Amino acid sequence: MRGRLAAFFALGSASVLLASTALLYVNLDRQLTAAVDEGLRSRADDIEADIAAGSVQIRREEPFAQILGADGTVISSSPTIGSGRRLLTDEELARALRDPVWLKRPGSAGDARLLAEPVDTGGRTVVLVVGTHLEAVERARQRLAVALVVAAPLLAGTLAGGGWFLTGAALRPVGQMAEEAEAISLAEPGRRLPQPPGDDEIAHLGRTLNAMLD
């Protein structure tokens, strides 16, 4: 019984831990993505303020941004992107001319997340693109996954061990009563089973057996 109860306890704990770790990973992943998007939005707002002031240029300190004309011409770009390289395809550019678009772009240096949106310069509409590389986010995801994979089995094993000892402590009075019952004989008619304290099922069993012996 002790083994079955401990196994059941371990299985239940593992199921709860599996669901909890999955929810934790998904939630933290969403928070990381939201933080990245918030940073992109803030940078886009700063560049839009420059455009509204009449400067349709990307500041040199801006790490990853580009301004495209409606025909796809590169108007201004961060030095790190490279001369003449366009960040959007024709289809993406057409979508970004209508509404803001969130994109994920794979690359040799890792994935990047982009925000492309239309900006009115007064006489024409251009598309502003800001992006960021996701290496730090991917590393955080990997560290989180490793931590969960290592911690979850350890915690499940700890809980199972705790269940084993707790079950043993709960069933110890039953074992003592069984040993005492084996020792009772007709030669000792007044001998009785040890009475467990409390008012639970095991204590009730002890009182019942002693009443039967009476």
Annotate 143-207 with DSSP letters as a single string: HHHHHHHHHHHHHHHHHHHHHHHHHHHHHHHHHHHHHHHHH--TT-TT------SSSSHHHHHHH
User: 187: pLDDT confidence band, cut at 50, 70 and 90?
Assistant: low
Nearest in space to 78 (alpha carbons), one of 54, 28, 114, 39: 114
At residue 42, the pLDDT reads 93
Contact 141, 29 (CB under 8 A): yes
- Positive/negative CA dihedral, 150, 152, 155, 156: negative
Looking at residues 153-175, what average pLDDT do you find? Answer: 79
Residue 123 CB neighbours (<10 A):
5
- Better-scored residue on pLDDT, 51 or 194: 51
At residue 102, does pLDDT exceed 60? yes
Band of pLDDT at residue 97, cut at 50, 70 and 90: very high
Per the structure block, which two tokens stand in for 111? 């994935």
Whether 28 has a pLDDT exceeding 80, the answer reads yes
Question: Is the confidence at residue 177, as pLDDT, over 90?
Answer: no
Task: Kindly tell me if the per-residue pLDDT of 96 is higher than 60.
Answer: yes
CA–CA separation, 207 vs 181, rounded Å? 13
Q: What are phi and psi of 159, to 5 degrees?
A: -65, -40
Q: Helix (H, G, I), strand (E, B), or coil: what is residue 138?
A: helix
Question: Does residue 173 carry a pLDDT above 60?
Answer: yes
d(CA 181, CA 163): 27
Higher pLDDT, 107 or 112: 112
